[in-house]
Chain A
Amino acid sequence: MKLEVAAVAVAIAGKRIVHDVSLEVAAGSIVGLIGPNGSGKSTLLRAVYRMLRPAAGYVRLGSDDVWQLSARASAQRTGVVVQETPSDFAFTVAEVVQMGRTPHKGMLAGDTPDDAQIIASALERVQMRSFSERQFSTLSGGEKQRVLVARALAQQPKFLVLDEPTNHLDIHYQLEILELVKSLGITTLITLHDLNLAAAYCHALYLLNQGRIVAAGPPEDVLTPERLRAVFLVDAIPGRHPVTGALQLAFVPLPHQHTDNA
């Protein structure tokens, strides 16, 4: 299902965080949103998954404006994985994944064998089936992240939004989670801090700086040394991954000068 963001502006407490952003995620592709801290990546994602209503523009998934849909109808097609708020509530892994069925369930609806099947296969997909009865809070960071992906899969989404899914994960789990996303074949919009991972796993990138898109296109076209110097304030030396052949950047700090970027 294709995502289209058109001329979207988002304000928080009266302050514009995102200005006039347009982007597209083609059906079945993975599109990365990159940019420095505070560039508006997460804010833009919030406008996409109905957390923050855009001040201007529209977000269209397939043929529907997501802000014309109810929260529930939107969640029936869009799965969201964001940083989980640490919680004192002792849910099991299976219960966490079961929450993914919420948008498909009316107030009086119980869990059917179908739901159990969907939950089991979502856990299977992320190789966490044997953890079903464990308490979510006792899992490692990588295991938690996989369970959260399983919850999004239990929503049976046509479109996935992932906000920094590799955050706080060691390199093994970073690659594992991105391999998983790639294998799903679901239209995905993802924010990533690691530019090399973004280059390796995304079909297209949008580079965001101070709330505006400053570059868009295939990774090679977006991640140029000039742009990275201007936006991230680093020197980047492009090379090739010795095995996959993907674009790989080596970073060098800029010579120490007045990095007065306020």
Chain B
Amino acid sequence: MTVPFTTVLGVIAWHLADLLAHALALVGMTITNPIDVTWTATQAQIVWQFRLPRALLAVIVGAALAISGTVLQAIVRNPLADPYIFGISSGASLGAVAVLTLGAAVVGGLSLALAAFLGALITMIVVYVIAQQDGSAAPTRLILAGVATGYVLSAFTSYLVLRSATPSGGAAAVLYWLAGSLGGAKWEYLGVPSLVLLLATMVLVLQARPLNAIPAGDETAVGLGVNVERFRLQLFVITSLLVGVVVAISGAIGFVGLMIPHVTRMLVGADHRRVLPIATLLGGSYLVLVDLLGRTLIAPQELPVGIVTAALGGPFFLWLLRRKRPGGGT
């Protein structure tokens, strides 16, 4: 274990140094790189066209998933909630897979990302409408409605995949998308997600104080002056939009939204005024590293980042489950 691990670290360090040096060279700065000093125009081109937007996309996606996961865990009072618990990723997947297998014409000429985003948006609305009763949506009903809707949508997605399973390779593209990947990163894809992330993060961080009151129970939160129903709906919509936007571009990258909030809480405690900004930063940094791993582990082939995050996140989740206090429920 030790040797391969240090090897991996070495490779990562090399790639990071490389990337940094190239990036700096591009903006006209030069640093003395102890590893490599010769840049060809092609290398610079690769960094500018692929590596840099990809790293930025990783930051955006990781940050978005981490802050959404943190908020959603609090508003449904469930530490095992993740950004996909309301079926948003299933909706996005169905939209994307419909484009990949049936062709864009079937969904009215929408691009892959737009179809995925619409899928996420429609799912969000359906889940909320199903879950709400007398004008409010209780956390448990939200989760159950989301999970059930997710199953239904996954069934359609699976059907579309099976039905298109030809040797031509269409199914591989679908699988690649479903596993979650940053491989399609381009500069022109970054504008909308970074803007949405920026706005959503600003709004959410400002809600940290009332968010602290929600885990104590709706009655308590109302007693502390939080308009719980409106508050929960607002945060549900903001996080859903944010998750929808990033899922549309990167597919459903698992576990970041579950794992980073917990790591953050272990580091800085439960107060969301600290947790929200730090989880956002950690999420962004984590996904950059994981993507680097995905690109280098079996180079020159590439592992989709979703596979790497899940392979790391799965065991973490299990550990979390084991670590829960005896008699603590769940």
Contact = CB atoms under 8 A, between A and B. Distances in A.
Interface string A36-66: 0000000000100111000000000000000
B209 interface: yes
Contacts of A107: 206-207, 209
B212 A99 contact: yes
B270 interface: yes
A74 B225 CA distance: 7
Interface string A108-146: 100000000000000000000000000000000000000
A89 B213 CA distance: 11
B186 interface: no
A88 B222 contact: no
A75 B223 contact: yes
A105 interface: yes
Q: How large is the interface on A (under 10, 10 to 19, 20 to 34, 35 or more residues)?
A: 35 or more
Contacts of B213: 99, 102
Contact of A102 (B217, B218, B226, B265): B226
A75 B77 contact: no
Nearest to A49: B223
Nearest to B207: A107
Interface stretch (A79-87, A193-201, A205-213, A234-242): A79-87
A82 B269 contact: no
Nearest to B324: A88
B222 A91 contact: no
Contact of A87 (B77, B206, B224): B77
Contact of B220 (A80, A95, A105): A80
Given A91-B212, A103-B224, A51 B206 contact: no
Interface in B84-142: 133-134
B271 A91 contact: yes
A80 B222 contact: yes
Interface in A144-174: 152, 155, 161, 163
A95 B225 contact: no
Interface string B157-169: 0000000000000
Q: How large is the interface on B (under 10, 10 to 19, 20 to 34, 35 or more residues)?
A: 20 to 34
A78 interface: yes
B212 A108 contact: no
A89 B224 contact: no
B269 A102 contact: no
A85 B217 contact: yes
Given A90-B269, A95-B269, A105-B209, A85 B224 contact: no
Contacts of A87: 77, 215-217
Contacts of B220: 80, 82, 84-85
A71 B219 contact: no
A247 B57 CA distance: 72
B271 A80 contact: no
A235 to B, nearest CB: 35
Nearest to A137: B325
A35 interface: no
A85 B217 CA distance: 5
B271 A82 contact: no
Contacts of A13: 133-134
A76 interface: yes
B74 interface: yes
A155 B220 CA distance: 12
A250 to B, nearest CB: 34
B222 A90 contact: no
Contact of B223 (A79, A85, A92, A105): A79
Interface in B188-237: 206-207, 209-210, 212-213, 215-220, 222-227
Interface of B: 74, 77-79, 133-134, 206-207, 209-210, 212-213, 215-220, 222-227, 265, 269-271, 328-329
6 contacts: A75-B222, A82-B217, A87-B216, A99-B224, A107-B209, A108-B206
